[in-house]
Structure 1
Amino acid sequence: MLLTEFPPELLLSLPRYLRSIEDLLSLSSTCRTLYRTCAEPDPKIIPGLVAASGRIFFRPHPHFVIAATARQLGDWAVKHDDHRYLLEVAIQGGVEKLLELAIDVAELTMEDIRKLHAFKSDVINPLNRRLDVASGPASGDPWTVCNDPETTLLSWVIYGELFHHSFELAYSPLPEHKPLSSVTRYKWFVYCMPDVNSFNYMEFEDQPPFFKEYDQKKDDRFQQLSMSQAMREMLNRLLWEHELQSTPSFQEIPGASREEFIRIVMHMGMKSLAILVPGGPERLREDLDRIAKGIIALEVGGGGDDTSLLKFVDDRWLGAPRFTLETDVGFSLWANWMGEDEDEDDSKLLMEAIRSPPQRKVPVE
C-alpha cells in the first residue's frame, strides 16, 4: 500500500511524528497529495519543528524562535497567576528553558514562518550589518564591543514583545490583566541576557548552572554589556527620533508628549526594528497613528496619570511607568537603581527577589 493511499486523517497526522521543519518541507514536496495534507500542519506543532531546526534555519538560536513567540508567551502569562509563575520559572532557567515553554504555549503557521524569514532578510540582516560596524567586532574597537550584534537585536525584539503590556499602558485604557511584574522583567535580563558583570552586581553567591556551561570562546558571556554598547553607539532614542520626526503621527503629538511617543515606538518588538529600515515608518503608519491617538486621548481624558497606573499594576519596583530597556539594563547590569527616591533598601530587596526562586501563589478558597 502506497503512503499516498492512506486515509486523509492519517496523512494529516504525519507532521506530528516529524523531527524538524526540514522534514516537513521535504515530505510536503514529494507529491501533490502530501503537499495538500502537510503544507499547513497544526499550528501547535510548528514551534517545536522550528526549534529543532533552529541551529540551521532560525539562527541565532534560540533567540530567533523566542522572538517569534514572545508576544504569545506574554499574553498567555498575564491571564493567570500560575502562568506568571511558570514563565518566571522558565526565565530563571535561561533561554533554553524559555524556549521550551514557548514551544508548549505558542502557535505558529507556515505563513508566520514565511514572515519570519522576510523579517530576518529585510530587517535583521541590514540592521545587523549596521550594528556590527557601529559597535560590533567590525567596528575595530579593541575594547568593549557588542560581541554578537544579531543576538542583541533579537533580544531587543524579545523585550518589546514579551513585555508589550507594560508599554501599552501609556496609550491604551487599563486592560483586563496586569502586565508582567518588574521582578519578572529584571529576571529576564539577568537570566536570559546573562552577563558576568550582572551576576556580580546583583550579588549572586554563585552563577546559575546553565551559565557555567557557556563556552567562553563561542558564547557571549557579557550579553548585557553588549546591549549597553549597542545602545551607546546606535540603538538609542536619537535613532528612532530621526526616523519618526517627519511622520504625521509625530507631528500630531504635542511637543511635551513626543518623548513618550518615541519611548513606546522603541519598544514595539519586531515593529520597533522594522521602523529603522527604509520605508518602515510608512509601512507601520497605522500602528504609529494608533499610538499617537492613544497618547493624546489619555492626556485629554486625564487617563495618563502615573498614580492611577501605579495603583493598577500594584508593583512596588515600577517606580514610575516610564522605564525603558536602557534604564532596565542600567539596573540589571550595574545596579544603578532609578526607582522612586532612589531608595537603596528598595534596590536591595529587588536584587534579592531577582536571585530568589519564583513563589507560586496559593489560590484563595
Structure 2
Amino acid sequence: MEILQLPTELLLSLPQYLHNIEDFTNLSSTCRTFRRVCSDASPNTILRLAAASSRVFFRPDPHFLIAATVRQVGEWALLSHDNTEQLRRHIQGGVYSLLHLCVDKAGLTMDDIRRLHASRFSLINPIADMIDRCAGPQFVSTPDFWDGGVSNPATISLEPNRALFQIIIYGELFAPTMQAFLEPDRALPRFDQELRLDFIKYCIPDSMCRSYTGLTVLEVGPYAGTKNELMPQKESDQVGLDYLLTCRTWREAWERVRLAIGPNFDDVSRQIMWESAVQIQGLAGLEMLRPGGLEGWRSRLAEMRKRIESLPVEKRPKESRYGSSGRYYCWESPNMAAEITVTLAPYWGET
C-alpha cells in the first residue's frame, strides 16, 4: 500500500509525527493531498513544530514564539486560581519554561506565522532599531559618547531585539490586567502584582536582581544554584531596560502618542496609569510609534483616557512600597518601568 492510500484519519495524523516546522512546510508542498492534510493540522501542532525550530526561524529564541502566544496563555491562566499558580511556576522557571507552557496551552496557524514574519519588517525591526539607538550598540558607539556625543551616557549592556520582545511579552500578558483596572465595575479577573514582579525577576533575569526586605528572589530558573552570587550569564537585562524605559528618546516617543489624544493629567496617579496603559498593548501597540500608525488606535486610546479620567479616587490602583527604606514602589496596575526599578533596588543600594 502506498502512503496516499492510507485511510484519511491516518493521513490527518501525520503532522503530529513530524520533527519541526521545516518538515511541515516540506510535506505541505509535496502534493495536493498533503497540502490538504497540513491545512487541517491543529494550531497546537503547528506551534509545537515551530518551537522545535525556534532557534532557526523564530529568533530571538524563545521570546518570539512566547510573544506570539502568551496572550492565549494569560487568558487561560485567568480562568482559575490553579491555572494562575501553574503560570507562576513556569514564569519562575524562566523563559524556556514559559515557552513550554505556551506550547502546551496555545496554538498558531500558518497564517499567524506569516503575519508575524511580515511584522518583523514593517514593525519589529524599525522599533528594535530605535531601541538600538536609545540604549544598544548604536548608542554606545556614538562618536564622543562620554564627551557630549549623547545627552545621557551610561554604561549599559542591552540587546535591542531581546529587549523589545521582553516589552512585547509583558504587554501581551498583562494588558488584560490593565483593562480590569480601567473597568473596575466589571470585576474582570486580573493578575496580582507579585506575579508581574515574578515575570520581571525570572523572565528578564539580571545579575543585580537579589533578595531584600519585601522582595524575595528564589534560587530557581535563571538563578538556580547561584546562592545570591552574581549570575554566570553576562546579560544585565533589567538594568538595560530600566535605562531604556526612562531615557528621554523612549519617553518622548510615547508622550507624542498620548498628547495626540489629550493633555497630561494634573493628578499624578491618573497620569502614571495613563502612561502605562498606552504602552502595555503588546505587539500591535507598537504601531502607535510608526508614522501614521496612531490612527488605528485613536478611538481605543480616547476610550482608555476617558475611563482613567472618570475613575474615582477609591478605585484607582493603590501604591505598594518595598525595601527597608520604603523608597521603592509600584502600583496594583501594571507598570513595567516601576516594577523593574523595584526588582533592581539592590543595584541602587537598597538592603
SS in 2 for 1:198: coil
Correspondence for 1:331 among 332, 337, 342: 342
Once the two structures are TM-superposed, the CA of residue 145 in structure 1 deviates from its matched residue by 2.8
CA deviation string 1:162-211 (max 9, x = no partner): 11222113433544543111111101111111101112657878854644
- In structure 2, do the counterparts of structure 1 residues 289 and 35 end up closer, same or farther at CA, with 3 Å as the change threshold? farther
- In structure 2, do the counterparts of structure 1 residues 293 and 310 end up closer, same or farther at CA, with 3 Å as the change threshold? closer
Correspondence for 2:194 among 173, 178, 183: 183
Tell me what 1:101 maps to. 101
- In structure 2, do the counterparts of structure 1 residues 209 and 334 end up closer, same or farther at CA, with 3 Å as the change threshold? same
CA contact (8 A) 2:163 2:237 kept: yes
Tell me what 1:360 maps to. none
CA contact (8 A) 1:194 1:224 kept: yes
Instruction: Give me the TM-score of the superposition, normalised by structure 1.
Output: 0.78
Instruction: Give me the TM-score of the superposition, normalised by structure 2.
Output: 0.81
% identical aligned pairs: 34
Once the two structures are TM-superposed, the CA of residue 18 in structure 1 deviates from its matched residue by 1.2
Code of the residue aligned with 1:231 in structure 2: it is L
- In structure 2, do the counterparts of structure 1 residues 219 and 19 end up closer, same or farther at CA, with 3 Å as the change threshold? farther
CA contact (8 A) 1:24 1:38 kept: yes
Tell me what 1:74 maps to. 74
Once the two structures are TM-superposed, the CA of residue 154 in structure 1 deviates from its matched residue by 0.6
- In structure 2, do the counterparts of structure 1 residues 150 and 108 end up closer, same or farther at CA, with 3 Å as the change threshold? same
5+ long unaligned stretches in structure 2? 147-153, 323-328
Tell me what 2:150 maps to. none
- In structure 2, do the counterparts of structure 1 residues 310 and 133 end up closer, same or farther at CA, with 3 Å as the change threshold? closer
Question: What CA distance in whole angstroms lies between the structure 1 residues aligned with 2:10 and 2:279?
Answer: 46
CA deviation string 1:61-119 (max 9, x = no partner): 00111111111111111111111111111111111111111111112222211221122
5+ long unaligned stretches in structure 1? 338-346, 349-365
The root-mean-square deviation of aligned C-alpha atoms, in Å, is 3.4
- In structure 2, do the counterparts of structure 1 residues 175 and 70 end up closer, same or farther at CA, with 3 Å as the change threshold? farther
Once the two structures are TM-superposed, the CA of residue 316 in structure 1 deviates from its matched residue by 9.8
Tell me what 2:325 maps to. none
> Aligned ranges for residues 70-219 of structure 1 at < 5 Å?
70-139=70-139, 140=141, 144-199=155-210, 207-208=219-220, 210-211=222-223
Question: What CA distance in whole angstroms lies between the structure 2 residues aligned with 1:44 and 1:201?
Answer: 40
Once the two structures are TM-superposed, the CA of residue 48 in structure 1 deviates from its matched residue by 1.4
> How many residues are matched?
326
Correspondence for 1:233 among 228, 247, 254: 247
Tell me what 2:50 maps to. 50
Tell me what 1:305 maps to. 312
Code of the residue aligned with 1:194 in structure 2: it is P
Does 1:272 pair with 2:285? yes
Tell me what 1:340 maps to. none
Does 1:26 pair with 2:29? no
Question: What CA distance in whole angstroms lies between the structure 2 residues aligned with 1:316 and 1:200?
Answer: 15
SS in 2 for 1:196: coil
CA contact (8 A) 2:12 2:38 kept: yes
